[in-house]
Amino acid sequence: MMRRLAAAALALYPLAFRRRYAEEMKALLEEAPVRALTVLDLLRGALAAHLRPGDGPQGVVGVEDRLRASLSGVLACWIAFAAAGFAFYKTTEDAPFARAASAHLALGASHLVVQALAGAVSLAILAGGLPVALAAMKQARHRRSLRAPIGVALGAVGLVCVLTGALVLLAHTPHGVHPTAPGRAGFAVWGLAVLAAGVAFALAARRALFATSVSRARLLIALATATLASAAMAVIALATTAYAVGLGLDAADLAGTPNGPIGNPSTEATLAAQVAAMAITCALAVVTSHRGWRAVSNTASGSSPATGDSTRA
């Protein structure tokens, strides 16, 4: 059990670090006893390696793979961000919130910005990801290594569609999705299953991306759209913060009431958790986008390997 956790913790290290030291670290873990403290030490080491990339191995990852790492990072951030955004939508969808948004300009405007940019981010992710996804599917005809991750990614999307359809059907039964206990349980199961599907999709997409031959130009276009999406995520997080603050100031009674399909403690607390999740994921997306561009500029200035296509994620 501890050895498996240690192996999972190793997977959390940055790409360059894994390429340089992972085999040695695995050999060390096979020789030495693995305890809970060993796993914690690996987790702390992975965090430190992400926070101080300058201390890590340089020139191990080529620019194409650095771009792949940035793209898959932004995709994972967007999935987590979208989960928080969907929770925000569910928290503020009821009629009293619509009335508050009509009565107070700041609330209405910030909610509109969130909705409009959520659509824009999704389109940007789709525009950048679709050409790469199509290239992966085309190459999967001849390459077996691509079939499994593409199958998992498509399966995750299919699972979300089926479960969402089932939830909609449940919502139209006499019990509805909420506030009855079966309705709440159904929503909770749907939420957990969608989160698991999101994680599976992000991991499978990363594996497929590293196994797909894509031109640098196409990767750069994808990174440009990912950067736009990251910037839009930052604006959405700011607008959500403005909405949460505005709700506390302009509709304090609404902010303090329990809300949502699973009976949240209070709207204010729920919004604070959603803002925190959005801030963390969009900060990670901005950082990973920046690292992609830095790799490109380092290559242009000749301080980094120009190529490094690999099938190892």
Partner 1 sequence: MLDLWPRAQLACYYYVMRYTSERATDPGLLVLASLAGGAKHGYAITLDVEQMAGIRLGPGTLYGALSRLEAKGLIEALPAQERRRPYRLTGAGSAALADQLQTMERVARDGLARLRAAEATA
Among 8, 11, 28, 196, binds partner 1 (CB under 8 A): 28
Among 1, 31, 95, 301, binds partner 1 (CB under 8 A): 31
Task: Rule CB under 8 A: say whether 25 interacts with partner 1.
Answer: yes
Do 176 and 142 form a contact (C-beta atoms < 8 A)? no
Task: Please give the radius of gyration of the chain, using alpha carbons only, rounded to the nearest integer.
Answer: 22
**CA 133 to CA 155: how far, in whole Å?**
14
Do 313 and 217 form a contact (C-beta atoms < 8 A)? no
25 vs 71, beta carbon nearer partner 1: 25
Cβ atoms < 10 Å from Cβ of 105: 11
**CA 33 to CA 29: how far, in whole Å?**
7
Task: Rule CB under 8 A: say whether 37 interacts with partner 1.
Answer: yes
49 vs 193, beta carbon nearer partner 1: 49
42 vs 114, beta carbon nearer partner 1: 42
6 vs 228, beta carbon nearer partner 1: 6
- Nearest distance from residue 39's CB to partner 1, in Å? 9
25 vs 242, beta carbon nearer partner 1: 25
Task: Rule CB under 8 A: say whether 4 interacts with partner 1.
Answer: no
Q: Which two tokens stand for residue 264?
A: 């949240």
Task: Rule CB under 8 A: say whether 26 interacts with partner 1.
Answer: yes
Residues 6+ apart with CB under 8 A from 259: 91, 94, 266, 267, 270
Do 287 and 42 form a contact (C-beta atoms < 8 A)? no
Q: In sequence order, what DSSP letters do the residues of 247-293 get, joined into one string?
A: HHHH-HHHHHS--TTTT-S-HHHHHHHHHHHHHHHHHHHHHHHHHHH
Contact pattern for partner 1 over residues 48 through 87, marking x by CB under 8 A: xx----xxxxx-----------------------------
Binding site for partner 1 (CB under 8 A): 6, 9, 17, 20-21, 23-29, 31-32, 37-38, 40-46, 48-49, 54-58
